[in-house]
Every structure is written in structure tokens, then in C-alpha cells.
């Protein structure tokens, strides 16, 4: 049973939305919204939401429970969860179901405000722009609310979500187990151009597990590095290609990553996703800016300008690449958002370097864009 304790979300402009609290935990952070109809656990464990107050527009949440299978990181990094109807414990139904959403939120110590008109929250943010908010009990004193609202939004969130140590992952066979034969060929020193597993050096800025799984399923061997790794450390493992992951926050807040990418340009094929896309743009001299309310959901249409094809994509970002700043740079826009025309993909005009703003691995969302991993592998094989 959930705790019927009244609570409220207070935005920094003074707007208040009422609901019920799952626990007495307070929360503060940037309030953002996601328009997906499913995938709440994947969103809760996506490191790109680190310290944000995640609001879901779809009103029915928790009806298929939670399961280890859907985890996108080792834990949830969200600052708080704001939803409409929370499915009661014991009433979720799915063959994967292991724990109720309420149990998951308590275990992960995620503050949750439910019974909220989340579509009203979304409409307000769309009109006024993303802003800070706090989750507190209904009877919280004003002094406590003022103190929480005064807490600055943390800037160095990449450092909070990145891996602390270098680790490796072997390719996966069709049955999801390690493809021993491919791994042995790689260990014997035969490179990707000779049919062995492409060796990818992944810079982890807050990578989702399904990105890693997607590359493993494509036959890649991965070495995953912390965000602070140097170009020398990355190149020392002699990778066939370099992957720049998704992650939270403003790309301007991680200048060290930009300098590392600059040093890696021209050394190996490079593929970036989301924050990796923005960092790559900055490394090549382009600018990034904050969107009014961002793109978060699994129903974002993206047009591939090379083919004219439109695919539905999964997205989670609050910043974008300034297209005007690409003028005069060796970069060409390859994908655009059909809704607002923002840059969703680009490639280098001379080097095997490219990136996309969205999530081709989905989780949650469609898998229309898995072909991008095939393009990366083709680049690593020199095709």
C-alpha cells in the first residue's frame, strides 16, 4: 500500500501542483517531462536524468511492474519522480514483473509525488520553459521550501554517473551469451578489417546499458573508460573505433572531455550519441545551447537528409547543437528533428566521424535507428 500523505511540487516561479507522497523524502532539481507511454523503469535508470525531477505525461504508471531486465544503469540517478496514477502494489501484471514500481522507488530511494495532473505540469513547462522545482510535504514550512529552492542545480553531473574504472565487455552471440570464437579472434590480434570483433573504446559520460548491449549484439568488443580518460589512455588499447556516449547536463560543463575528443580526432573512426554528439560538435568548434524544454520521449520524428527517410526516435536531452555555428566548419548536418528543425545528426566531411542527438538503441522506444551501429562498424572496417 502507498502512503496517503499529501505533498506538492513547487516550481521556482511559485506555481504549485498537489499530489500524494510515496515517502517523506524531499527533492530539488530541474523539472523535465517525458512523453513516452511505456519505459518508466528505463527512464528512471537512464543516467541522463541525473538529479532531475522527471515528470511523465502518460497518466497510468507502474501497471507492468519492474524487472532487472529493464535497468539501464546500476541504480536510479533521478532526483525525483512526478506521475499521475501510481499502480498499487500487487496489481501490476507482466510476465517480466519482479517488483512493483512503488517497491522499486523505495529501494532506490527516489522521492515520488503521485496523483499529480502531470499534463498541467507539462503545459506549464512548455509555455514557461524548464525550471527548478521542489517536492515537499503539503505542510512544509516556507523556510524549508525557500532553502530547497536556493540549492543550485549541480553542474558536474557527468562525474557522478560515469564508471570509476576501466572495464571490458565481450561480443554477444545471438543467444545473448559471449561469442567466444569472435572474442578469441580479437584476442589473437586480428583487427576488425580482417573479420575479428571490432574493438570499440567507449567514453562513458553516463552510458545506457542498452547502448553497450546493442554494440555487443552487433559483434563488438568494448573497452569502457571513465569520462576523465585521456586520449593517450584510450589509444593505448588500440581500438578500431571510439564511441562517445550519452550523459547528463550541459556539454559546456565538461571541457576536459572536449579536449580529449580534440586529441582523438583523425586517429580512429568516432561515433557519438546525445551528449557525445554535443561534445563532438564543441570539439570541432561548433556551439551548443539550451532548449526551452528539451526533447524527452520515444516518439520524436527524425529525418535522415541523406535518404529522405523519417524514423521515430527515442530522445532525452535538454541541449542542442547550434546549426548556424557549423558554418565554415568541416561538418554537415545529416539528420533534423521534424518537429522543430533542430540538428539531430552530423558527420565530418573528411574524416569517419559522425554523431546523432537521439538514442538509436531505444530502451524505451522504437528500434528504427539500429542501422547507425552498422554504419559505425562499417567505418571501423574501412568500408
- What residues does each domain of the chain span? 5-154, 158-380
Chain segment 106-140, per-residue pLDDT in tens: 999 999 999 999 999 999 999 999 999 999 999 99
CATH number of 5-154: 3.50.30.20
The pLDDT, as a whole number, for residue 193 is 52
- How far apart are the C-alpha atoms of 140 and 165, rounded to whole Å? 41
pTM above 0.85, yes or no: yes
- How far apart are the C-alpha atoms of 83 and 63, rounded to whole Å? 13
Going by C-beta distance under 8 Å and a sequence separation of 6 or more, which residues neighbour residue 175? none
Cell, residue 236: 593505448
Residues in the chain where the model's pLDDT stays below 70? 1-3, 174-195
Q: Residue 201's beta-bridge partner residues? A: 223, 242
- How far apart are the C-alpha atoms of 207 and 246, rounded to whole Å? 5
The pLDDT, as a whole number, for residue 190 is 39
112, 170, 274, 277: which is the annotated catalytic residue? 274
Our answer to whether residue 202 is catalytic in this structure is no
**Angle (CA) 46 316 105, round 5°:** 35
Our answer to whether residue 165 is catalytic in this structure is no
Q: Give, to the nearest 10 degrees, the angle between helix 255-264 and helix 275-283.
A: 70
Cell, residue 5: 500523505
In CATH, what is the architecture of 158-380?
3-Layer(aba) Sandwich (3.40)
Closest alpha carbon to 169 in 114, 129, 207, 126: 207
The pLDDT, as a whole number, for residue 196 is 76
Strand duo 27-34 + 131-137: pairing: antiparallel
Our answer to whether residue 194 is catalytic in this structure is no
Cα distances (angstroms) measured from residue 358 to each of 175, 243, 260, 338, 377: 27, 14, 22, 13, 18
Q: Write phi, then psi, for 168 (nearest 5 degrees).
A: -120, 150
The pLDDT, as a whole number, for residue 238 is 97
Amino acid at each position: 500500500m502507498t502512503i496517503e500523505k499529501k505533498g506538492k511540487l513547487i516550481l521556482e516561479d511559485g506555481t504549485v501542483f498537489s499530489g500524494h507522497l510515496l515517502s517523506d523524502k524531499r527533492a530539488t532539481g530541474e523539472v523535465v517531462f517525458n512523453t513516452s507511454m511505456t519505459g518508466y523503469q528505463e527512464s528512471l535508470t537512464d543516467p541522463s536524468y541525473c538529479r532531475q525531477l522527471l515528470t511523465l505525461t502518460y497518466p497510468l504508471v507502474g501497471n507492468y511492474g519492474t524487472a532487472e531486465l529493464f535497468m539501464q544503469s546500476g541504480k536510479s540517478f533521478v532526483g525525483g519522480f512526478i506521475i499521475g496514477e501510481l499502480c498499487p502494489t500487487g496489481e501490476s501484471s507482466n510476465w517480466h514483473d519482479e517488483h512493483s514500481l512503488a517497491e522499486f522507488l523505495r529501494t532506490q530511494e527516489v522521492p515520488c509525488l503521485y496523483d499529480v495532473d502531470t499534463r498541467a505540469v507539462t503545459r506549464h513547462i512548455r509555455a514557461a520553459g524548464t525550471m527548478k522545482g521542489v517536492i515537499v510535504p503539503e505542510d512544509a514550512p516556507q523556510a524549508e521550501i525557500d532553502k530547497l529552492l536556493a540549492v543550485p542545480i549541480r553542474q558536474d553531473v557527468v562525474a557522478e554517473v560515469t564508471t570509476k574504472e576501466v572495464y571490458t565487455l565481450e561480443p554477444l552471440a545471438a543467444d545473448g551469451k559471449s561469442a567466444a570464437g569472435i572474442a578469441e579472434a580479437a584476442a589473437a590480434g586480428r583487427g576488425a578489417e580482417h573479420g575479428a570483433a571490432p574493438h570499440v573504446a567507449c567514453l562513458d559520460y553516463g552510458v545506457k546499458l542498452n547502448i553497450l548491449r546493442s554494440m555487443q549484439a552487433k559483434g563488438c568488443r568494448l573497452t569502457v573508460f571513465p569520462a576523465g580518460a585521456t586520449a593517450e589512455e584510450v589509444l593505448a588499447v588500440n581500438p578500431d573505433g571510439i564511441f562517445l556516449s550519452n550523459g547528463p547536463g550541459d556539454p559546456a560543463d565538461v571541457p576536459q572531455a572536449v579536449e580529449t575528443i580534440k586529441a582523438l580526432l583523425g586517429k580512429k573512426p568516432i561515433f557519438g550519441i546525445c551528449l557525445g554528439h554535443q561534445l563532438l560538435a564543441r570539439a570541432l568548434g561548433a556551439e551548443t545551447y539550451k532548449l526551452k524544454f528539451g526533447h524527452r520521449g520515444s516518439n520524436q520524428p527524425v529525418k535522415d537528409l541523406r535518404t529522405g527517410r523519417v524514423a521515430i526516435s527515442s530522445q532525452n536531452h535538454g541541449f542542442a547543437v547550434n546549426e548556424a555555428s557549423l558554418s565554415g566548419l568541416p561538418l554537415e548536418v545529416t539528420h533534423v528533428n521534424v518537429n522543430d528543425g533542430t540538428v539531430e545528426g552530423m558527420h565530418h566531411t573528411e574524416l569517419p566521424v559522425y554523431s546523432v542527438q537521439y538514442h538509436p538503441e531505444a530502451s524505451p522506444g522504437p528500434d528504427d535507428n539500429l542501422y547507425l551501429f552498422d554504419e559505425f562498424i562499417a567505418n571501423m572496417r574501412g568500408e
